[in-house]
Each structure stands twice: as C-alpha cells, then as structure tokens.
Structure 1
Amino acid sequence: MKESKVTENPVPDAGCRVVGLVTLVFASGFSSAQSTASSGSPPSALNPVVVTGTRVEQSSFSLPMSIDVVEAADIQEGRPRVNLSESLVRVPGLVIQNRQNYAQDLQVSSRGFGARSTFGIRGIRLIVDDIPATMPDGQGQAANINLGSTKRIEVLRGPFSAIYGNASGGVIQAFTEDGPPGTVLSGTLLGGSYGTIRGEMTLGGTLGGTAGPGGAGIGGTPGPFNYVVDISRFETQGFREHSAATRYQSSAKLTYRFNQDATLTLVTNHLHQGDTLDPLGLTRVQASADPSQADERATTFNTRKSIDNSQGGLVYEHRFSAANTVKLIGYMGTREILQFLAVPRGAQTSATSSGGVVDLDREFGGLGLRWTYRSSGPRPLTVTSGIDYDGSRERRKGFENFVGTALGVRGGLRRNENNTVTSFAQYVQTEWEFSPAWALSAGLRHTEVNFRSEDFFIRAGNANDSGSITYRNVNPVMGLLYKATPALNLYISTGSGFETPTFSELGYKPDGTAGLNFALKPSKSLNVEAGIKWLPANNTRVNLALFESRVTGEIVPATSSGGRTTFQNASDTRRRGVELSVYSRFRSDLSTYLSYAYLDATFQDAFSSNRGTAAAVTVAAGNFLPGVPRNTAYGELVWRRGLPGFSAAVEAIYRDKIFANDTNTEAARHYAIANIRLSYSHQVKAWKFTEFVRVDNLTDTKYIGSVIVNEGNSRFYEPAPGRNYMVGVSASYTF
C-alpha cells in the first residue's frame, strides 16, 4: 500500500533551515569545548545529582543508565508552564506530542513504550515528590503535574526503569521547589494567541529561623517549617474549533524539620477542568483542507470532558545514623471524570455497547516503606530496599449520549461496574564501587498486580462480565560502569520489564463471551543498553547511549464491534536506537544544547485484527510501530546576562514521519520548526520583575502535532498551530 501524505510545508526550505540551525548549535558548542582547558572541576550543571535511578542522591555521571535532568530555568523561563511538552522536548528518546486537545492530555512515549495510548499516559511511570501519579494498572495523567512550582524533572530510560514496576518503560519524576529563606510572594500573568491567558500566584518561605544580617532565615539559622503554595488559572479558546479549555490548579508543599535527622513533608495538589471541549481527530483530507477545524461530530455531540483530581501525601524521612535512613510514604486521592463521546446512536443499539457517556468516580492510595544503607570508605556500598502497596477502586458507568432527538446529553444507563486494581511489590537495589575504576549496580523487583471487576449491568445479550485475575512478575536489572578516566565513563546495563493490560484492555473477550479477557497476558521486555558519559572539557558534557529492547506478547487490538474494543497478545516487537545529548557552556553567558535520537521500532511477527470491517486487517512483520518517529532532534542556543539583564534563546525541533496505524498506510509527515524567547529581568528594592515574549513556529509551518493511533474512523490527525505568540510578566516581592 502507498503511504498517505498528510500535509506539505508551505515554506519549502523551512526544514532545511531549522536542521541547519541545529547543526550550527552543535558545531559552535563542541568547537568551543575543545578550545577550553580541561583542568578544574566541571560546574554542577554538567554533572547533576539525581535520585530517580537509585532512589538515593548520586551523580548522574557515575550511574550506568540514561537519565536526564531538566532544571527550573528550562521549565519556567519564557514558557507558559502548562504542558510537559514545553520543557521535556529536549530529552532524547522521549517523545511528547501536544494534541492541542486538553480533553485528552499529552501523548508521551519513551523509546517507543507508551506510544499506542490513545488518551492519557501509559507505559511510563509518573512520580511527584515521591508520590506516584500513575495508577497500579499503568495509566497516568501528565496534567496533574503543576509546572508552576516545579524545580526539577528527572527522566529515566532503559533497563533500570523496570525497578519501578509495572508499565515502567520510562520514569518521569518531578520535584516541587522549596520555599525560599524569609517570605516571597510572586505572581505571573501571560497572554497569547487563540485567547490564551494564564495567571499564577505563589507564596513561599521559611518560618521559625533566627534572624541574620539579611533578615529572618537569611544569614541566620533556617527555620524548621518550610512551605510553598501555588495556585493558577489557565484558559484558552484553542487553535482548533471546539477546543476551548479552562484549567484550575493548586499545589502545596509543607516541610517540617523536627531536627537534623527527621523531616515530615506534606504534598497536595488539585486539578479542575470543567467542560473541556474535544475537537476530535481529523482525517487526512480534513487536516489538509483546514487544520483548525473540528470534526462535525464534535459539535453534533458536543464532545467534552470534565475532570476533578485531588491528591495528597505524606513523606517522613528519618536518618538513624550516617549510614542508615528510612523513608515512609503514604498518599490518597480521588478522580472524577464525565466525558461525552461522539458515538453515533446506531452504534449504541448493540446490547454490548457501553454508550457514549463515561462517568467515572475513582479513589486511590498507597503506602511505601524504604530503607537505605550507605557505607563510606574506599569501596562504598549503597543498598536500598523497600515495599510498595498501591490500590485503586473505581465506579464506572456508561450512558447513552442522547435523549429522544437531543444529542450530547446523558441518556439511559448502558454500563455499571466496580473495578479494583491493587499492586504489591518488593524491591532491592545496590551500587558497589568494588574497585577504583569499576562500579556495579543491580536490582531485583517482584510485583503482583490484581484486577477485579464486579458487573452490575446484566441484561439479555449482555452477560455478567465480572471476574478477577492476578499477574506476577520478577524483574532483575544489572549495570556495570568503567571509569576510563576522571572525565570518561563507559557502561553497559541490562534488565527485564513487563507491562500488564489496563482495565480498558482487559474488560472484554474477543470472542464476545462474558467475563474478563483472561487470555490477555502482560507484555514482557528484555532491555540492553551501552553508553558513554564524557566531560571533554570543564564546560561540556556529552552523553551517548545505544540500546535494544525486545518485547514479547505486545498488546494490540483484536476486534472492534458492538461498541467494544478488545485486545490480544499478537506480536513480538524490537526497539533499537541511539540517543545523544551535548551540553556546552562556552562563556559565562552563552550556552548550547543539542539532543538527537534514532529509534527503529518494528513488529517482528505478522498478526491480524478485526476492526469492524468485512475482512480482518493483516499487519505485516517489519511494519513500524505507530505513534513514534524514527528520528528526532532538538537544538537550543541561549544567552543570559545577570540581574538586571536580558536573556534570549532560539529553539529548533525536528520530528520524523510518524505512522498513525499498525498497517502503516497512514502517516503524518516530518516537520522542523523554530521558536524564540526573549526576557528582561530587573530589580527595584524588594521587587523583582521579569517581562518576556515568546514566538513559536517562526516559519508558520503546517504540520501534524500528534496522531491518534489506530483511530477506528481514520480520524488520526491532530494538527498543530502555525506561528503563535505569547507575552507575559512576573513579579516577586521579598518580605
């Protein structure tokens, strides 16, 4: 079959110009690094301390794994701080596609894991301040992370992701900033294209310290109580028709230090989105004719989604000695969703149809206990051991989306069930420098995931779908690091991972009989990675990783009829590729960053599925996995001065072609875009002001920002906006 072309770039040489810019950024940074003396210790930005890889603070340079850190400046400066895609686009191997649809959240994949998700995030674990933001069955929502108060994000990829359990093809962990010394009140207001407005207020500080020359807590003794509270409101009319959204977020981090050895931290967050409009995907013809339009079914059924998510957790950390630390974690939360879909009335006539309205009420929570031992001396050893329990219970109902001739309203009941999923895991992880030049990392995790469904909607033609099933898996990981020189580390690592079905994939059998799909098994992966971490000069960092993942029992669609989609373990897949990042700060006020990733992700076996067509669809062996590009690149050139001072940055982004379906008959074309941001910061007594302007997609390129994988009506494409603008101002006052 021929590949379907989606859009053409209106500026023929736009891609060449942006790719050229990426090359220039790399060349200038690397040549500058060579001209800089290699003596002296590199700045901390070149060798950040991370916790995600091992759950204890360690230098990323000394770990046999791919882990990147995105700092506060790259999260907040000149950015709207609404979507993770703004800042994590720089991480090689991580693909975040902004759907321009706040009813469906972002599409996130790591080395191809998670790419098949049609809504929300799966295959990647999300964590905020030690609190899980992913459900036990592997589903998560990026919108729950409040970027306004985030100081750092760590992204782990490769074999050691498996130590975090089910569906951990990668790990994204966000950390909330601490309150500053004294008390600081700050606010931000920004506006931009498509009626976009965001306002934010943050209050942070430290209480109870002794006064110093700079005031309470400044130059004196820090107080025992530290806090930061953040509230924001985001509103947009959307680039596309019928895509308006309003989002309210609030978060708080309160830390009390009992003494030098014991702290208690309370973390809370809340997200509210009422009647977020869903423009749906577009066909190839629609996207080419008018990328800003919504499918007519979106307005006919008034497709929309309301979300309320509240979560809170406590983290208690106690250091019993210089070598022994215990951390206790507990959390709980609720999530409510009401979603109106564009399911035609005729498609709801089947007795097995769950209707066109989703009503979900979920409660979730968990506990974790972690012990860490760290020895000093010439052969340091670190051991981390722990247990995790996570649970989620939801009441899920489905209704018809019509009453009489009225569409887009809640009608008769078509689905009513209780779903419970729990996860219980035990793990141990060690790091041992057994010689001056060698370090060994190893880990083992046992995870048990239990699903239980109670069906209360039993009618003629719709049998009892109640049932339960338990999956168990043991995942070993191991890595070896060789310190070739003080500035060059080589490593290799390997490990196994697994991913259970979600409840939506487990819910129904392909043959139409009652009960859960007991034949559906977790997909399992064997992962290998080799890499280089190099500090060629005291101002440059280079990371290079080569990897391969072989997945057995990949979960893919089996049938789609009667209002139900079922799934099967139909194919093995292979993912292999290269990831490169180069960061250089070749002057005190000038820096460059480049990342590049190549991913070859293919089905190894042919399989077939019935998507409601007259004949089954055959997917050939060798087809590329949909939802992931083969090549991605990001380049950035940043100039910053002190305070007062200007800062300016140019960003370049390249994405290769992305297939939209398993058969590889539909694809979104490759694209390249450039963005710029400018800001000016100055201080007036206790006030600090920053004004900024941002322009995205400078060349006004027409491109597809995201695809809906295997969309049943061929509405695969979600177009991105052309050239768009944003201006903003922030102010802070120190008391």
Structure 2
Amino acid sequence: MSATPLEPIVVTGSVTELRMFDAPYAIGVVDRDALRAGGLQVNLSEALGAVPGLSVLNRSNYAQDLQMSSRGYGARAGFGVRGLRLYTDGIPATMPDGSGQVTHFDLAGAQRIEVLRGPFSALYGNSSGGVIALVSAPVTERHARIGVDVGSHGTRQVRGSYEAPLNEHWDVRAGVSAFETDGFRPHGSAQRLLGNVRLGWRDGADSVVIHAHALHQPADDPLGLSREQYDADPLQTTSQASEFDTRKTASQQQLGAQWKRRHDRGALSETALTGYIGRRDVKQWLAVPPGAQANPGHGGGVIDLERGYHGADARAVWQWRRVRWVAGAAYERQQDRRRGYENFRGPETDRDLGVTGDLRRNEVNFADTTDAYTQAEIELGERLVATFGVRSGRVRLRSRDRYLDNGDDSDSAAFRYTNPVAGLLWRATPQLNLYASAGRGFESPTLNELAYRADGSSGFNGGLQPQRSRQLELGAKWRAPDGRAAVDLAVFRAETRDELAVRSNAGGRASFANVGRTVRQGAELGLQWQWQRTWHTRVAMTWLDATYRDGFLACAGTPCNEPSVPVEAGNRIAGTTPRSAFADLAWRPAQGRELAVEWRAQAGTAVNDVNSDFAGGYGLLALRGRWRFGHENGPELFARIDNLFDRRYVGSVIVNEGNGRYFEPGAPRTWTFGLSWPL
C-alpha cells in the first residue's frame, strides 16, 4: 500500500517554511521524482510543463536559452530570460539589470523547484514577473552513483555524483555531467560540461552551506526559419547558419555561501546572510551581413562578453504568537566588458565569414541594485491570515564607451521602485482555502535593451523607461481528506503601463521602446489525483489573454528613423499563447517504478506584435518509464519517447525577428534511454 502523499513545503514568497496549501498565492512545486521523469535533467522545459501559468519552451538550440515566461511576462526575450527572477539555493541567477540564464541549474542534485506566479513575485525586486527557485537536496547518507544516457540525434550524457556526511558537522555533495548532442537540424550540435559542489557545516544553532559550480558550453546556432522555409522543410537549417558558422561558447564559474543561525530565546527566531561571486564569459558569432556593419554605429557581428558579478543578502526573522516577520536588505552588482568585432576578414572578392575581424565596439557596462524589503504574516483568527510586504530599491545602469572612433557614447540611467503586496487567506474548511492577493510590479530595461537605438546610431537608448504593473489574483486550494487529491485554481489580472517591446530586430541588433498599456488576464488550474492505489494523474491548464490596450507604430526593419507599421490595440503580445495544457496518467506499482503516458498541448503563438503570422497550435504525446531495482539507491533504468506520433510543430518563436525567421522547429520523434547504478 503506497503512503498518503505529503503536502509540499515551500519557502518562496513566504517569511518561513509553510505548506503549499497555506500560501496566499499561486505556487507550484516540481519534486525530484518529476525532474527525473522529465528526461535528461538538462533543460527546465523537461519537467516544468506541469506547472500552470508558466511557459518554458525548448528552442532546441543550445546557443540560446530556453524561452520562458510567467503569465506572459518575459515573452519578449529573443534570447536568455527576461522578466523572471531565477534562484539556486537563494543565490540569484538573474542579474541586477534583469537578464538571466538557467544553463548552470543542477537539476540532478535538486530536491525540488518552486515556481511562484502573480503579485507576490514583486517581493523579489526588479524583473520579478515570476520566480523560479531551485532547492538542492540535503545530504543524508553516503552514496555514490554513475549514469549513462543515450538518445536520438547523437544525444549522450555521462553523469557522476558523490555525497556523504563527513562527520557530525560536515557533509558534501559533488556532481559532474558531460552532455553532447548532434541536434536534429544541421548545424545544431552542442556540448555541455557541468560541475557542482555543495559543502555543508552545522554546529548547534549555526549552519553554513557553500555552493560552487562551473559550466562550459559550446554550441552551434541553427537559427530560425522563415514561414516559407518552415512549410517546405521544418528540419532544415537556413543557409546563413553555415555561411557565417553561427555559434556560441559560454562558460561560467560561481561561488556562493549562506550562513543561518537559529535563535531559541525571545522574538528573534533566525538570522541569515547570503553572499556570492561569479564570472560568465560569452563569445558568439552572428549571421550579420558585412553590409549591415558598414554603419559607423554598428557593433559588428561577433559578441565578446566578460561578466563579473557579486551580491549579498542579509535578513532576520522574528516570530511572536500570531505574527511572523522578516526584514532584510540586498545588494547586487554586475560589470560587463563588452567588445564587438566584425565577423569577416579580407576584401569583398575574397572574404572569410564567421571569423573574428576588426574591433567595432569596446565598452564597460555596469548595473547594480540596492534593495530593502520586509514582509509580515499575521494570524487574524483561527481562519484568517493576512500577509503584507514591500520591497523598495534602486537600479542603476551605466555604460562607459572605450571605442571612440564614432564618438563617446557613454551614458547612464537610474530608476527607483517601491513594490507593495498584500494577501488574505481564509481557511473556509480544513480542506478548502480561499485567498486574494494584490501587488505592484517593476521591470527595468536590461543593459542589452538599452544598448541600441532603432535609427541605427550608437549609444544608449536614453528614452527607454521601466514598465510598471498592478496585479490582482483570486484563488482556491482544495485538498481531499485522505490527501490523495489536490486542486489549485487561480484567476488573475495584471495591467502594465510603459510596456517594454521590441521596436526593431534585424541585422543582428534589437532595439526596444515603451509602447503604452497592456493587460494580462486569465485562469490557471492544477490538479493531482491518486485515484487508485497505483494510478496517479496530473493536469495543468492555462488560459491567458495578453493584449495591447494601446495601439502603436512598429518598425519594418533597420535602420528605422520613424516607425510606420501599425500595431492595433487588442493585438496579442508576441510570444504569448492563449491556451496551454499538460496531463499525464502514471501507473506506479512501487516506489521508484513508473510507466506513464504524457500529453502537452498549446494554441497558436503570435510571432510578432503586428500579429501578421502565428505558430500553429499542437498536441504531443509522450511515453515514459522508470524502473528501480532493490532499495531506494539501487540501479535504475529510465526511458522516454517524445512526440510519439512524429508531429511537425513549432517548438518556440523568435519574437519580432526582422528577417522573418520567427520559427524554431520542435523536435521530431525522439527516444531517450538511461541507466544509473550505485558504486
């Protein structure tokens, strides 16, 4: 007889740990088993499809990051992650300017991933349209493991891990993985080498956890396809990819530590201090024609970025009989040494493309944020809990130009914000909680979004302003008395002013503008049901209406002295889809053993703000199985077949792509097989 499922515990969005059922906001949890069932544990898109309200799409292009958005926030990103706050064990993976990446997430070592949507995300500061937080599993026993995965299109991975308590005070976990794929499209190969170490220390009321990781990832870039190319053959690669040998190499090293102390006397219950330092280097060769680089203000077709970053967060938690209160302060800073080079050498009659040519850009960019925050949870009675919070801060963005052949383009911008939130939870019955929450959000333009003007001239886009939102959420959470069923329902509305949108995107450069008011509204449903002893099902459904309330003019190309293409009020925000769904049915005869069928679907996605074209909707079936032999840490087999019926579909889109190459094809039928065993 399987045990009654336990209610997940969350820490994101709360003063202290609490049950997901008792949170006055929409939050989802993906546990360790679900992460393993999702696939190779390389991409967050494998498992986060089961979280309503969240879109995590695999571009099938490791030269770019996943396309991620929460309730439509972040959908404008053509690469990397925008509009979301990302964390690993309390250490930000989102930079002070709001840009982020998830390539270094150690999914194999995670205990769970928490996904916060809605107003309470604003408590995390700048660019917090949603929060994705990875929590590492604690070390409980000595254990070593090695695994091998193989799959379609030349996919292979080797993984190894070791964890152990070293003595009564110390414990350690170390993991390494080497991943490689040929890709299902020409010029789509990639490699990734990832290493992580977690060192823990505990002595009485004090504990310290130190995290270190290193990443190296070279990848080819197959680029997107135009409508004509996609309709002719969705598995092709546009000729510019091989002509310019488009590719990217990224490496990252990070060290972070968190100290906590429990206090057993008086109202003060806990103090904590988190600090981190890291470096990320990126070099990318783009498909920018030499003619487009003739403009004196153009930065070239090769990006060379050296980023250093660091930060700290200090907080204290107090607890009285009916009140829990946290207050803290945070500081984050990044420094980007950014160079640009031509991607060609030689005369026009005998030119080498896809190489590093003459210098065209040389600058140092800075971004820093300083924040103070507080949050309180108050028991107003047996059935009512009120939560209040506010985060106030400043973000500064600066550029120091060192390439003066086209003039000095040094400039700066600074913005302040205050984000209040409030929530009320009513325990209607022991099985039903109802809640309402409201808040104000803030998202500044990133350094990259400030870097280019739509008219092709060099220098800061100084008129660009942050977007600000007001959000409201109503929700219900129901749990069956025996714990075998759970339903989470949320409806929401978010109104944003000064929405940041792509103004032009061509010639390897994107410029941005504030385009007025937008509205995002919708509903989310999450269901988990163990309807027989061995049968389990999950359902996640999202309805999203993300539209422009004001019409505006967009650019048809670059340079763009005056935008001339009308975007009608009521148009859908590019990159958003109105409906998406996930469902699975799993047979679990014993712990660690599972056979399941999985369905993912979504409606059409607008590829641009003009809404002149859409990526068609689709529904995909997958089969998965996992079989563990013996005890909890015994040998394990794993297998998946994705896109079972080999459907042709668009996996993600490059929003507002000026050349019309919007479409990033989804993978055809693929299989994955894995074997791991203890040492």
TM range (shorter): over 0.9
Residue 304 in structure 1 maps to residue 244 in structure 2: no
* Alpha-carbon offset, residue 46 of structure 1: 5.3
Q: CA deviation at 1:701?
A: 0.8
Query: Residues 388-442 of structure 1: CA distance to partner in whole angstroms, max 9, x if unpaired?
Result: 0000001000000001111000000000000000000000001111111110011
Inter-CA distance 560–98: structure 2 relative to 1 (3 Å threshold): closer
Q: Which residue of 1 aligns with 2:430?
A: 486
Q: Which amino acid aligns with 1:424?
A: T
Within 2, Cα distance between the matches of 1:561 and 1:60? 44
Aligned-partner Cα distance in 1 for 2:572–2:313: 39
Matched letter for residue 435 of structure 2: Y
Letter in 2 for 1:279: P
Residue type of the alignment partner of 2:95: M
In structure 2, distance between residues paired with 1:105 and 1:73: 24
Instruction: Write the letter of the residue equivalent to 2:341.
Output: F
Residue 189 (structure 1) aligns with: 148
Distance 2:3 2:509 in 1: 55
- The CA RMSD over aligned residues, in Å, is 1.7
Residue 371 of structure 2: aligned partner: 425
Aligned to 1:161: 121
Q: 2:600 matched to 1:656?
A: no
- Residue type of the alignment partner of 1:365: H
**CA drift at 1:468:** 1.4
Structure-2 residue corresponding to 1:706: 652
Q: In the TM superposition, what are the counterparts of 1:531-546 in structure 2 within 5 Å?
A: 531-538=475-482, 539-546=484-491
Report if the CA contact (8 A) 1:368-1:388 is conserved.
yes
Q: What is aligned with 1:398?
A: 340
Distance 1:111 1:124 in 2: 11
Cα shift at 1:188:
1.1
* Residue pairs, 1:216-235, within 5 angstroms: 223-235=168-180
Q: Which moved more, 1:605-614 or 1:527-536?
A: 605-614
The answer to whether the Cα contact below 8 Å between 1:350 and 1:562 also exists between their aligned partners in 2 is no
- Residue aligning to 2:329: 387
Once residues 298 and 511 of structure 1 are traced to their aligned partners in structure 2, the CA distance between those partners, rounded to angstroms, is 26
- What's the secondary structure of 1:458's corresponding residue? coil
Q: Deviations over 1:269-307 (max 9, x none)?
A: 111012x10000001111121111111000000000000
Query: After the TM superposition, which residues 112-511 of structure 1 pair with which residues of structure 2 at under 5 Å, given as runs?
Result: 112-181=72-141, 183-208=142-167, 223-259=168-204, 261-274=205-218, 276-321=219-264, 323-376=268-321, 380-404=322-346, 405-459=351-405, 462-510=406-454
Aligned residue for 2:229, secondary structure, equals helix
Separation in structure 2 between the aligned mates of residue 416 and residue 632 of structure 1, nearest angstrom = 43
* CA distance, structure 2, for counterparts of residue 674 and residue 474 of structure 1: 45
Aligned position for 2:28: 68
Q: Which residue of 1 aligns with 2:583?
A: 635
TM-score normalised by L of structure 1: 0.89
Secondary structure of the residue aligned to 1:343 is: coil
**How far has the Cα of 1:105 moved from its partner?**
1.3
Does residue 1:600 correspond to 2:542, yes or no? no
What letter matches 2:152 in structure 1? Answer: S
Higher relative contact order (CA 8 A, sep 6+): 1
CA displacement at 1:197 relative to structure 2: 0.2
Are 1:178 and 1:226, in contact at CA under 8 Å, matched by a contact in 2?
Answer: no
Change (3 A) 1:565 1:481: same
CA apart distance, 1:559: 4.7
Contact 1:650 1:676 in 2 (8 A): yes
CA drift at 1:77: 3.2
In 2, the alpha carbon distance for the partners of 1:286 and 1:562 equals 19
Q: Quickly say closer, same or farther: Cα 1:696–1:314, change in 2 above 3 A.
A: same
Give the whole-Å Cα distance in 1 for the aligned partners of 2:4 and 2:390.
31
Q: CA deviation at 1:178?
A: 1.9
> Aligned partners of 1:628 and 1:88: how far apart in 2?
17
**SS state of the match for residue 122, structure 1?**
coil
Q: Is contact 2:316-2:328 (8 Å) kept?
A: yes
Any gaps of 5 or more consecutive residues in structure 1? Answer: 1-41, 209-222
Q: How many Å separate the matches in 2 of 1:73 and 1:593?
A: 14
Aligned-partner Cα distance in 1 for 2:458–2:192? 39
Question: 1:642 Cα shift?
Answer: 2.5
Return the alpha-carbon distance in structure 2 between the equivalents of residues 651 and 248 of structure 1.
29
TM-score by length of 2: 0.96
Identity of aligned residues (%): 40
| Native 8 Å contact 1:160 1:495 kept in 2 | yes
Structure 2 CA distance for aligned equivalents of residues 513 and 286 of structure 1: 32
1:620 aligns with 2:568: yes
Instruction: Report deviation, 1:509.
Output: 4.0
Report the more deviating stretch, 333-342 or 283-292.
283-292
**1:586 positional shift:** 2.4
Q: Deviations over 1:654-690 (max 9, x none)?
A: 1110010000011110000011112221138x97111
The count of aligned residue pairs is 668
TM superposition shift of 1:135: 0.3
Find the counterpart in structure 2 of residue 695 from structure 1. Answer: 641
- 1:655-674 alignment to 2 at 5 Å? 655-674=602-621
Instruction: Report if aligned partners of 1:350, 1:563 keep a CA contact under 8 Å in 2.
Output: no
Which amino acid in structure 2 is aligned with residue 314 of structure 1?
A: A
- What amino acid is the match of 1:200? R
Distance 2:92 2:633 in 1: 37
In structure 1, which of residues 668, 679, 688 is the aligned counterpart of residue 626 of structure 2? 679
Larger deviation, residues 328-337 vs 50-59: 50-59
| 8 A contact 1:78–1:678 mirrored in 2 | no
Q: Is the 8 A contact 1:583 1:593 kept in 2?
A: yes
Separation of aligned partners in 2, 1:164 and 1:452: 22
- Note closer, same or farther for the CA distance 1:491–1:624 as it changes in structure 2 (3 Å cut): same
* Residues 582-603 of structure 1 deviation map (CA, whole Å, 9 limit, x = unaligned): 1112233221111100000000
